[in-house]
Chain A
Amino acid sequence: GAGVSQSPRYKVAKRGQDVALRCDPISGHVSLFWYQQALGQGPEFLTYFQNEAQLDKSGLPSDRFFAERPEGSVSTLKIQRTQQEDSAVYLCASSYESDNSPLHFGNGTRLTVT
């Protein structure tokens, strides 16, 4: 596709439910990032993949958060036993494998936990 695609666009979950958020990066992009953006805040780094390898997961807030990219393309961010504090916009970004290349962001998934 022409850009990074994220689905669903909106997700409402009851507290305690599990959710899965999908990211389709730009074809050929090696690097993939997940960010969390709370209301009124800037994006906060969650995790980074280079192809299928998860090289940095230091930003994941708890062990309820899990991300995968098994074939080095599509990635899924899973949140188990959702809590109200998980409510945020989850952003996916991809880029070429380079310090100089810009991040291409999707439109995000807005998660609301009730």
Chain B
Amino acid sequence: AQSVTQLDSQVPVFEEAPVELRCNYSSSVSVYLFWYVQYPNQGLQLLLKYLSGSTLVESINGFEAEFNKSQTSFHLRKPSVHISDTAEYFCAVSGGGYQKVTFGTGTKLQVIP
């Protein structure tokens, strides 16, 4: 069984400030980890993923996440947020023979001008 915990349901942050969205997971097998983003009135889309290798992964729009096996975490960070980053962010975990992805409850990032 696998599960994902996102403790923060909402995170308000001022524009150009740094942000961290927390994610902890549990799994009995090796995992793949993902962050998905849902912009207003749009479908979920992949932001970044950890499969293997380097524990630090980056997205094309400046987000990064670090896989920490000892702390079972995969926190999402951005050093300077923009208004366009306002969205809901979902952490997810997958493992096993096919990608049955388990999602967290989501964190709404609100960037304040």
Contacts and interface: CB of A to CB of B under 8 A. Distances in A.
Given A41-B105, A42-B105, A105 B43 contact: yes
Contacts, number: 62
A107 interface: yes
Which range holds the interface residue count of chain B? 20 to 34
Interface stretch (A48-56, A61-69, A76-84): A48-56
B44 A91 contact: yes
Contact of A31 (B43, B45, B99): B99
Nearest to B99: A99
B31 to A, nearest CB: 11
Interface in B43-86: 43-46, 49, 51
A42 B104 contact: yes
A105 B98 contact: no
Interface string B1-19: 0001010010000000000
Interface string A26-59: 0000010101000011111100101000011000
A21 interface: no
B43 A42 contact: no
B25 interface: no
Interface of A: 3-4, 31, 33, 35, 40-45, 48, 50, 55-56, 91, 93, 95, 98-108
22 contacts: A4-B43, A31-B98, A31-B99, A35-B103, A40-B9, A41-B105, A41-B106, A42-B4, A42-B6, A45-B101, A48-B98, A91-B43, A91-B44, A99-B32, A99-B51, A99-B94, A100-B51, A102-B34, A103-B36, A103-B46, A107-B41, A107-B43
Interface of B: 4, 6, 9, 32, 34, 36, 41-46, 49, 51, 90, 94, 97-106
For the complex of A and B, the 10 pairs showing the least CB-CB separation, nearest first, are A42-B103, A102-B46, A105-B44, A105-B43, A107-B43, A42-B105, A43-B103, A42-B104, A42-B106, A99-B99
Given A45-B101, A102-B34, A105-B43, 9 more contacts: A35-B103, A40-B9, A50-B98, A56-B98, A100-B51, A102-B46, A103-B99, A103-B101, A107-B41
